[in-house]
């Protein structure tokens, strides 16, 4: 139920439960009609009677619907748990928070590993190519299902930020504010190149079998390498130096091709753990959607945003070389030219791209005050609308 309160434990949200929403079909940007579509989602807090306090959190490439709290019988806090809860950036005493797993994902939403009702087997590469706009259009179906006409905000980092921009462009009348974090209007050649190397590592795995691996061994080695490549781009040179330096794991024999350095062991650990929770085909589809995303839709973004009343907060991080600050500034420039009320903050962090997950204090301060300002008119006057 939408208005179910969650138990609070030790300052955090307590046990939360994943839900699912299924609808008949979605018209994709390609023109194809695809369905049925299921979206896994979680909610935190209480939707007020005016249905005016809802915030959609959009996740990054490897994320899912589990953004906060823990699942029953498990010790698995959500991926943005430090940001969501009573008194936090997304204050569940005030706001109703929604997070859904993306279309094409592998954590409850319809994706390549889902069963194709026409064949009784996983879609694999019969799953259609999807776009970020398709992902957002599926989310819009969920928001409509929840009876929410206008979101207070849509917030997300990295690929989540691309989804925020898609909402801003395609559904400006359905939101009051938007917070794109560490993201871009469209990928640079370098960003595409990193994703392509990851995809090639998966497809080069002998177990990939053109995507038809679900009845046998999965391409875990290729997916692990893709994750290792990705994780290098998420950190900064300084954060890696501080975390690992040139420290070695042990004093074994030199020149053996083992994980002698701490950083080697760390990357292998991250890769090996990732394959336990993520589907290789989903990785291919989602990274391709990221690479194909272009918020400008062949028109200058400032033209698309002209006349929008949505308030925007753009956040970037100085050490983020995967999604460098200049890309966030391009978003800000377009908003300013369109006369959209926009605030820009560049946080001095050493964490690299991962900063949007780790810079809890500064990021929370910015988001908390921004949301309070956006919600102020409703709290004071009781009016909520354009």
The number of residues making up the chain comes to 386
Q: Of 109, 113, 114, 158, which residue is the catalytic one?
A: 158
User: Taking CA 61 as the corner, what is the angle to CA 81 and CA 211, rounded to the nearest 5 degrees?
Assistant: 135
Active site residue 215: no
87's tokens: 């008194």
Active site residue 145: no
375 with 152: CB under 8 angstroms? yes
Rounded to whole angstroms, the Cα distance separating 301 from 285 reads 25
Encode burial over 67-91: b for 16+ CB neighbours within 10 A, e otherwise: bbbbeeeeeebbbbbbbbbeebbbb
Rounded to whole angstroms, the Cα distance separating 171 from 148 reads 13
Q: Of 81, 205, 260, 320, which residue is the catalytic one?
A: 320
Q: Quick one: how far is CA 217 from the chain centroid?
A: 28
Rounded to whole angstroms, the Cα distance separating 6 from 45 reads 7
Active site residue 320: yes
199: nearest Cα among 180, 225, 171, 173: 225
Rounded to whole angstroms, the Cα distance separating 206 from 385 reads 55
Rounded to whole angstroms, the Cα distance separating 60 from 230 reads 12
Which amino acids are annotated catalytic? Answer: 158, 320, 353
């Amino acid at each position: 139920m939408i208005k179910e309160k969650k138990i609070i434990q030790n300052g955090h949200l307590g046990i939360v439960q994943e839900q699912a929403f299924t609808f008949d079909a979605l018209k994709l940007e390609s023109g194809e009609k695809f369905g049925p579509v299921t979206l896994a989602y979680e909610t935190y807090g209480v939707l007020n009677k005016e249905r005016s306090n809802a915030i959609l959190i959009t996740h990054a490439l490897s994320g899912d619907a589990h953004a906060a709290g823990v699942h029953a019988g498990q010790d698995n806090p959500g991926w943005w748990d430090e940001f969501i809860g009573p008194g936090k950036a997304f204050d569940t005493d005030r706001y109703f928070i929604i997070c859904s797993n993306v279309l094409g994902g592998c954590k409850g939403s319809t994706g390549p590993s889902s069963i194709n009702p026409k064949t009784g087997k996983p879609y694999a590469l019969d799953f259609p190519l999807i776009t970020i706009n398709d992902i957002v259009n599926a989310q819009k179906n969920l928001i409509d299902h929840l009876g929410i006409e206008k979101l207070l905000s849509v917030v997300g980092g990295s690929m989540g930020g691309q989804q925020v921009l898609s909402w801003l462009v395609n559904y400006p009348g359905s939101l009051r504010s938007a917070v794109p974090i560490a993201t871009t209007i469209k990928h640079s050649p370098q960003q595409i190149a990193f994703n392509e190397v990851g995809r090639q590592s998966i497809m080069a795995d002998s177990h990939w079998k053109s995507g038809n691996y679900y009845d046998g061994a999965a391409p875990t080695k290729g997916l692990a390498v893709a994750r290792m490549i990705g994780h290098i781009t998420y950190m900064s040179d300084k954060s890696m130096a501080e975390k690992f330096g040139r420290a070695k794991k042990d004093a074994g024999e030199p020149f053996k091709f083992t994980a002698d350095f701490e950083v080697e062991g760390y990357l292998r650990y991250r890769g090996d753990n990732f394959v336990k929770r993520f589907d290789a085909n989903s990785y291919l589809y989602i990274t391709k959607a990221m690479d194909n995303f272009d918020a400008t839709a062949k028109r200058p973004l400032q033209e698309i945003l002209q006349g929008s009343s949505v308030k925007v907060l753009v956040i970037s991080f100085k050490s983020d070389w995967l999604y460098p600050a200049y890309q966030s500034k391009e978003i800000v420039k377009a908003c300013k030219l369109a006369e959209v009320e926009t605030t820009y903050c560049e946080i001095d962090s050493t964490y690299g791209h991962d900063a949007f997950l780790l810079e809890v204090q500064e990021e929370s301060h910015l988001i908390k005050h921004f949301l309070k300002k956006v919600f102020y008119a409703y709290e004071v006057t009781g009016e909520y609308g354009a």
